[in-house]
Every structure is written in C-alpha cells, then in structure tokens.
C-alpha cells in the first residue's frame, strides 16, 4: 500500500453538516490500526460504549480522533490534536477508512471464468477466477469473487458483493415419498432475485424457488455458509450471520438480525426488526420487534422467568 | 422455454391403473405456477392437507387439476374442467412436472474439468466446469455440477446428482494426542461408496473411511452443506437436510429424516424410520420409528411431560 | 497400491526406547484393515479402552499386534506372533501406518492454479487444481488441495494442509446501521496468519482481521465447514470440529477441543485445555480446564444438578 497523508480538511466532505471539527484541520493521518498499534499518524476513534472515554482520549497517541459530540475535550488536547465530533464515531470512521484504506476491485471478467452466452452481464462488474455464470443477469458495480456457481434464471442487482464459492440458484431440497417409500424430487423450476447492495458470504447457498422465486431484498448482508432454501424472502436491510439455515418459504422481516448458527423452520414468518439469538431453533412465527433465543426459541423475556440453574 | 400444449390424454401413461380422470382429456396445460399465479393454462393440484379443498377447487382458474379420489366434484366443474383423481396428488404433480417442465442436462465432460487418467467414467454422465475427479468411478446418467472435488477411491453409482462444490473422499478428522500433547493424524486410507439414485447438495462433504468405507446407500438425499464423517453409513432412502453434521462411524437407519442443523455424535445408531428434529443434538442411539428432538435430544413424547414455560 | 512386506525389525526405528517387542521381529505385515477385515498379514492394534483385550488378542488373525505394556501375553501367542508393547498403541499404529500406507503428495503447482505474481510460494509445496492464491506467502511442505481461495495478506506456515474449497482472508462480517438504518460495512484491511502444522478442512472459512490479524496457531486442526471470524485467535494444538462458528475477536486457549456444530459468541475467551460440547451455544468466557455444554452453555457439573426429565 502506498503511504498517503490525509489532512482533516480533505475529508470534511465525508462529514455531516452538524458534525464539528475541533483543532487544526491541518493535522493528518496515514493509517488505521488496532487500538494497541495506534501511532501518531493513525486515525483513531472512540467507541461511545467505552467506560473510560476521557482517559482513552488523553492517552491515544493519534493526532486525529473521531469522538462523540458530548465528550468534553481538555484544553491541552484541543491545542494539540484535531477532534472530529460526530453522532456516531464508528460510522464516521467506517466512511473515512473505506474511502482511503480499502482497495477497490477493478472491473472485468477473469479469463478463467465461464459465462453463458445468453447471460446479461454489466460492463461495470467483476467476475473472478473459476466462476461459472449461467443464463442470468448481473448488475452494475457488482463483484463476484472466484469459484461461485450461478445457475440459470438468477437476477443479481447493482453494487452486490459475492464472496468465493457461493452457489446461487440450485434446485431446492423438496421430495415426496412414493408408493415404495422412496423419495421423488419436487420440480424446482423457479429462480432467484438478489436486489441491490446485497452482500453474500463465502460458500453461501441460495436455492431457487420451486415454482416462484427466492428473493433477497435490498441491502441484506449474508455471512459465510448461510443456507437459504427455496422460496424464502429475506426482507431489506436484514443481516443473516454465519452458518444460519432458513427453511423453505420462510419470510424474514426487514431490518432483522438472524444470529449465527440459528435454524429457522420452513413456512414461518420472522417479524420486522426482530432478533434471533445465536444457535436458536425457531419453529414458530416471531412477531415484529421481538428478540427470541434458545432451543424451541421463544421471547427472551420468558427466559427470565425460568431458572436454568444459573 | 418453448411453450408446449400438453393434453391430459397425453399424460395418462404417467398415471396408475387405479387413478381416475373426470372430464374431457382434451383439456390441456402449458405451465406450472405458484398458487397465486395459476392461470387457465396451468396444471394445478390440491394438497390433501388443505382445509378448504372444495373451495380451492371451485376457485382455481386452471382447467386441469390433480386432486384426491375422495374429493366430491360439483357438476359444473365436471363439465368444464379435467380432474385427475389419484391417491397422492403431490406425487402425480411431481411426475408430470418433472417430465415436461424440468430441463435435462446433456451428457459430457466440460472442457475445464480435470479427470484422472485412471478414473472410470461412464460415457452417459455429465461432469461440470472446474470439477476434479481422482482415480474413481462414476456411473451412468450421473450428473456432477461444477467445482466438485472427488478424491481417489470413490465409487459413485448411477442416476446420482451432485451439486456444486461437493467434496467427496477427503481424509477424516481423526487425531491422537502424542507425548507432547500435539495432535497426530490417524491415517485415513479408506474410500467412499455412493449408491444409485443418491443426491448430494452443494458444498456437502463426505469424508472417506479410516480403514474401511463411508457408505451412502441407494436413494438417499443429502442437502447443502451436510458434513458426513469417516465410516458413516446412511441407510437407504433417508433424507439428511441442510447443515447437518454426522460424527464418525455413526449409522443411520433406512427411511429416516435427519432435520436441518442437527448434529449426531460419532459411533451411535439412528434407528430405521427415525426422525431427528431440526437443531437436535443427538448423543445416544435412537430406536427404530422414534422422533427425537432438542438439545441432548430425547423422544418427543417426553417433552410433553416437561413444561418449557410455554 | 504396491504390496510391500514390512518386517517388525524394519519399523523398530519408529518406536520409543522404552517400548518392548515380544516374539520374532521377522514377522511381517502387508496391510492395515478395519477390525472385521483383519487377516494374517494385517498390522493390528488393541485399543486400551476395550473391555476384552485378552480375548481380542487371542482371536486376532494378525501376526503383528500393537498393545499396551501391561497386557499379559499367553505363552502360545508369544511363540507364534510378534507383540509390539507400548504406552499408547493407537499412537504407535498411527505412526507406522502413516509411514507405510499413506500416499505422499508430490510438490508443484497445478497448471490450472492461479498464483499472484507477488505471492511468495515455497518451491517445496503443492498447490492443487483451480486454486487461487493472492499476494500471500505459502511455506515449505504445505499442501493446498483444489478450489481454495487465498486472498492477499495471508501468511501460511510450513507443513500446513488445506483441503478443497477453503476460503482464507475474506473480509469479515462487520456492519454499522447508518442514519437510514441501512448496514454500512466496517473496513476489513487486516490479514490472516496460519502457523506451522495446521490443518484446515474442506470449505472452512477464515476471515481476515478488521485492522489486525486472525491467527491460527501451531498445530491447530480445523475440520470441514468451520467458520472463523475476523480477529479470532485459536491457541496452539487445539481441535475445532466440523461446522463450528467462532465469533469475531474470540480467543481460544491452547490444547482445547471445540465440539462439532457448536457456536461461540464474539469477544469471549475460551480457556486453555477447555472442552466445548457438540452443539453448545457459548455466550460467556470459559475458564481454563473446564468442559461446557448445552444451549447457553455452562459447566457440565451444573447439569448433573438439573433434571432434564431423563
């Protein structure tokens, strides 16, 4: 990485109107670091959840520090450093660091990738090594890393990121026992729709709809090794953490958080802004705005009534 | 997809002798759809589990409908539509839809696939892009999608379907702590046998036997991201749903159903026709014909005696 | 495999000084087998955990048998067979079998693999088909099977084994909700360090650090489909069994055993030599040397006080 000096005055366009800058905007940073590695040239930030924010501020070696507006700044620090005072320091840090320290992928199709001649691929996207794309559609500024397998009838929007080894559009796991008690396969002839700004983790599997569509709405973030069955709908701006399994035709409400290694039954409805605990086994509908956890998951408030011996 | 008109008289060869057709067999269908998209040219079917079957029948726009034999058919409908009356409507729907609406893969080896010169590959099979096949055997009419890695000493039967990214025949996870408390690897020099009509999901891993074989018997269906350890035997016509982990040397009885995200200890026996609930943690043998669920899974009947606070 | 006769006198260099050999060292073996397939030419071993060791010894068809030192050997057997008497028969069996019956990979880079021009790759390593290696470092005698995707800034030590489809160094799953309640991505610009003698299972995912490193220490063994989040540290000589999810910044103590399908919260500390039960949901720190299990995992001793209805 080339070393670059970024002065505070150069990043002010990334701030909100109500944000305040205290100290000289000629102060600069050249790096971001873990807290134990912060140096004079680091961009530092103070998590509002910290107990000892004042102390952290005084001890940080960094010259440029992002903090909450309500933090009171000792005179000595005002004269010596530059404080960027905002509503959400983490968010401001994210925006600056993403702008200056995260490498951008170049667009193009890797020579080893195989793309179906009838696929419709944006010219402004990246398709990585050993990826296979069927008769599908890939939007603008979308990045597909290596080893992914995209079946036919998959529509992927703009600004989507797909990590290595994702499998999108495979036929679902649906069978019926026949006269001889053998499993006969239900036909899966539907497709998958991935809307804009979605992120899909490594080895995640999103099966196509049986007769209709599996839909991942705008802004949803899916972690590694998540399994999304046929005809599921994941509501916008939800997060599905690693190793989750979502059963067929289940609907997840917008702005939800589905914890790691949880499993959701088929054909249920998870409410808007709901939270599913890690490892939860969810067999029923969850109302909006509730947090459920546990084996045969139920609302967290009920847990407090039951002693688990602790 | 090319639009085709299929008349009921053309599909009668797919029916059983005892099935009845009511109404003109000149009625036809051109598509299958989700229930909200059914139109005049759809093939519809009525799930016997529905409460309002009579009402559904009267409201369906479809001209050709598969239903149970015991359903009573109003005169108006008899004159206007064609009813295919059978024992299991879902199964009949599956057979007709699979015959006319599911695309068939062509056989052949994709130019990017790598096949060991000593592998024995049927001429009537499909091997997809970026697949690696070691010194192994692949049967007739078997389909292996892309990105799979088949080690040496794997025997795959006929009519098998393997979805992208499956890893079959890797050495198992067996170690012994040595004098310095380090983990030394147990030699895994066995193989894997996949019998006929098996289906294996995306990214599923089936490790080879330590000294013997890991065996997946006839007609077993394995979902995405299932992990099957060394020396496991999965009995015929069982279903193993997504994200299941099966410990080494465990035996699963025929016709069982192993629910999503459950985990089965090593060296146990799951009985014939047994059911393991989603997310179950199974640490003991399960007798034949039982349904077990929960953390430290036990028979479901016992659960009813325990209040979980609900 | 070529049939080879291995005489006991030839393998004595693999034994410890305190080990004893009883009977003629001219006895030989040509194979290792599962117990039901043992023949006169097999190398057999007797598990110290067996109840009927004496009986097993008398009934084994093998001429060369590894057993515990304390086992008393009938006269008839002494004259007829060769007993290798050691402290840990399984370990001795492992060493002999690995030496003679396990195939060694040849070194080299498969012609289909893609390696970044700035990667630093040992000349004594193997990189398999369809593998992608970014600007990273691969040590001596390391084996990377096919379909793996190694991002930039990953350092892999010596004698490491990586099975097909591992994804190492992807950016972690970290987001912050913004003013519009959408998820904005935390920058992940760190790396991954894999120390010597580590083994990584098929489809395992090891995300890179946010600002620092994700570290897998010496001798750790990771099974298939394990997910290790950003900034995790797995202590030396630990085993992480299949399908485990480890949350961000969590630290696992040395010599631990993390059972299959368990899930560990982010930012916790699992003690040295601790054991996490299969399917456990761990939300708190675990002290050194303890065994925890269950949903909201707690020490196993506490379980015994609680009746679960069994």
Contacts from A77-83 at CB under 8 Å and sequence distance 24+?
A77/A23, A78/A22, A78/A23, A79/A23, A80/A23, A81/A23, A81/A27, A82/A8, A82/A21, A82/A22, A82/A23, A82/A24, A82/A25, A82/A27, A83/A21, A83/A22, A83/A23
Does A201 sit within 8 Å of C203, measured CB to CB?
A: no
CB C24 within 8 A of CB C37: no
pTM of the predicted model over 0.90: yes
CB C240 within 8 A of CB C223: yes
3-state secondary structure of B58: helix
Active-site residue list of A: 230
Mean pLDDT of A50-76: 92
Active-site residue list of C: 230
- Cβ-count burial B257-272 (b if 16+ within 10 Å, e if not): bbbbbbbbbbebbbbb
Tokens of A197: 């700004």
> Is any Cβ of chain A less than 8 angstroms from the Cβ of B302?
no
> Is any Cβ of chain A less than 8 angstroms from the Cβ of B212?
no
Phi and psi of A183, rounded to 5°?
A: -90, 120
Q: How far is A91 from chain C (nearest CA, A)?
A: 6
Give the residue on A whose Cα is nearest the Cα of C147: A147
What is the structure's pLDDT at A39? 95
Other Cβ atoms within 10 Å of C17 Cβ, number? 4
Whether residue C174 is predicted with pLDDT greater than 50 in this model: the reply is yes
Q: Give the C-alpha separation, B29 to B8, whole Å.
A: 8
> Is any Cβ of chain A less than 8 angstroms from the Cβ of B48?
no
Mean pLDDT of A252-274: 97
Q: Which of residues 111-130 of A touch C (CB under 8 A)?
A: 112, 128-130
> Which among C223, C225, C226, C220 has a CA at the least distance from the CA of C193?
C220
Whether residue C272 is predicted with pLDDT greater than 90 in this model: the reply is yes
Give the residue on A whose Cα is nearest the Cα of B303: A296
Phi-psi map region of B304: left, alpha, beta (phi>0 left; psi -120 to 50 alpha): alpha
Does C205 sit within 8 Å of A225, measured CB to CB?
A: yes
CB contacts of C162 in chain A (<8 Å) are none
What is the structure's pLDDT at B7? 96
Whether residue A309 is predicted with pLDDT greater than 60 in this model: the reply is no
What is the structure's pLDDT at C297? 80
Best mutation target among C192, C211, C223, C240 (most A Cβ atoms within 10 Å) is: C211
DSSP letter, residue C150: E
Give the residue on A whose Cα is nearest the Cα of B89: A176
pLDDT tens digit string along A106-125? Answer: 899 999 999 999 999 999 99
Does A101 sit within 8 Å of C165, measured CB to CB?
A: no
DSSP letter, residue B90: H
Does C227 sit within 8 Å of A225, measured CB to CB?
A: yes
| H or E element that contains C76 | helix C75-80
CB C68 within 8 A of CB C92: no
> Is any Cβ of chain C less than 8 angstroms from the Cβ of B268?
no
Does C173 sit within 8 Å of A241, measured CB to CB?
A: yes
CB B192 within 8 A of CB B208: yes
Q: How far is C74 from chain B (nearest CA, A)?
A: 28
Residues 6+ apart with CB under 8 A from C133: C113, C114, C115, C116, C119, C121, C127, C144, C150
Does B310 sit within 8 Å of A302, measured CB to CB?
A: yes
> Which among C286, C178, B15 has a CA at the least distance from the CA of A89?
C178
If you average pLDDT over every residue of chain C, what do you get?
A: 93
If you average pLDDT over every residue of chain A, what do you get?
A: 93
Nearest to C203 among A98, A203, A255 (CB): A203
What is the structure's pLDDT at B78? 87
Q: Give the C-alpha separation, B264 to B171, whole Å.
A: 19
pLDDT tens digit string along C182-209? Answer: 999 999 999 999 999 999 999 999 999 9
Residues 6+ apart with CB under 8 A from A241: A223, A226, A257, A258, A259, A260, A278, C173
pLDDT tens digit string along B173-222? Answer: 999 999 999 999 999 999 999 999 999 999 999 999 998 999 999 999 99
Nearest to A242 among C114, C186, C245 (CB): C245
> Is any Cβ of chain C less than 8 angstroms from the Cβ of A158?
no
Does B298 sit within 8 Å of C295, measured CB to CB?
A: no
What is the structure's pLDDT at B2? 56
- What pLDDT band is residue C310 in, cutting at 50, 70 and 90? very low
Tokens of A210: 């049986």
Does B308 sit within 8 Å of A187, measured CB to CB?
A: no
Whether residue C304 is predicted with pLDDT greater than 50 in this model: the reply is no
CB contacts of A130 in chain C (<8 Å) are 130, 132, 147
Residues 6+ apart with CB under 8 A from C17: none
Whether residue C67 is predicted with pLDDT greater than 60 in this model: the reply is yes
> Is any Cβ of chain C less than 8 angstroms from the Cβ of A306?
no
CB contacts of C260 in chain B (<8 Å) are 227, 245, 247, 263
What is the structure's pLDDT at C78? 87
Q: Which of residues 23-42 of C touch A (CB under 8 A)?
A: none
CB B108 within 8 A of CB B138: no
Give the residue on A whose Cα is nearest the Cα of B94: A186
Nearest to C94 among B132, B187, B245 (CB): B187
Contacts from A36-41 at CB under 8 Å and sequence distance 24+?
A37/C211, A37/C212, A38/A62
> Is any Cβ of chain C less than 8 angstroms from the Cβ of A73?
no
Contacts from A265-268 at CB under 8 Å and sequence distance 24+?
A265/B278, A266/A229
pLDDT tens digit string along B246-273? Answer: 999 999 999 999 999 999 999 999 999 9
> Is any Cβ of chain A less than 8 angstroms from the Cβ of B164?
yes
Q: Give the C-alpha separation, B6 to C230, whole Å.
A: 55
CB C130 within 8 A of CB C168: no
Mean pLDDT of A146-157: 97
What is the structure's pLDDT at A304? 45
Neighbours of chain A (3+ CB pairs under 8 A): B, C
Phi and psi of A116, rounded to 5°?
A: -60, 135
pLDDT tens digit string along C129-161? Answer: 999 999 999 999 999 999 999 999 999 999 999
What is the structure's pLDDT at A302? 53
User: Can you give the pLDDT of all 310 residues of chain B as single tens digits?
Assistant: 457 899 999 999 999 999 999 999 999 999 998 888 999 999 999 999 988 998 999 999 999 999 999 998 888 888 899 999 999 999 999 999 999 998 877 899 999 999 999 999 999 999 999 999 999 999 999 999 999 999 999 999 999 999 999 999 999 999 999 999 999 999 999 999 999 999 999 999 999 999 899 999 999 999 999 999 999 999 999 999 999 999 999 999 999 999 999 999 999 999 999 999 999 999 999 999 999 998 888 777 654 433 333 2
Whether residue C286 is predicted with pLDDT greater than 70 in this model: the reply is yes
């Amino acid at each position: 990485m080339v070393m670059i000096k970024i002065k505070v005055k150069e990043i002010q366009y990334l701030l909100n109107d109500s944000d305040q800058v205290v100290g000289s905007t000629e102060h600069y940073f050249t790096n971001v670091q873990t807290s134990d590695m912060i140096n004079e040239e680091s961009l530092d930030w103070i998590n509002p959840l910290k107990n000892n924010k004042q102390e952290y501020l005084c001890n940080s070696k960094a010259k440029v520090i992002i903090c909450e507006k309500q933090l009171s700044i000792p005179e000595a620090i005002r004269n010596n450093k530059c404080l960027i005072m905002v509503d959400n320091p983490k968010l401001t840090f994210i925006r600056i660091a993403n702008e200056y320290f995260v490498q951008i992928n170049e667009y193009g199709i890797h020579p080893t990738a195989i793309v179906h001649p009838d696929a419709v691929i944006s010219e402004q996207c990246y398709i990585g090594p050993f990826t296979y794309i069927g008769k599908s559609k890939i939007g603008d500024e979308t990045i597909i890393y290596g080893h992914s397998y995209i079946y036919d009838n998959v529509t992927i929007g703009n600004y989507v990121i797909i990590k290595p080894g994702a499998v999108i559009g495979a036929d679902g796991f649906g069978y019926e026992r026949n006269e001889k008690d053998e499993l006969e396969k239900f036909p899966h002839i539907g497709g998958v729709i991935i809307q804009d700004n979605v992120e899909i983790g490594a080895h995640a599997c999103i099966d196509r709809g049986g007769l209709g569509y599996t839909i991942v709405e705008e802004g949803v973030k899916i972690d590694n090794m998540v399994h999304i069955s046929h005809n599921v709908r994941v509501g916008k701006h939800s997060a599905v953490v690693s190793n989750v399994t979502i059963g067929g035709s289940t609907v997840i409400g917008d702005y939800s958080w589905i914890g790691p290694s949880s499993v959701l039954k088929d054909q249920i409805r998870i409410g808007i802004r709901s939270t599913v605990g890690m490892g939860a086994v969810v067999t029923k509908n969850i109302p909006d705005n509730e947090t459920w956890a546990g084996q045969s998951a139920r609302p967290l408030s009920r847990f407090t009534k039951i002693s688990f011996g602790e």
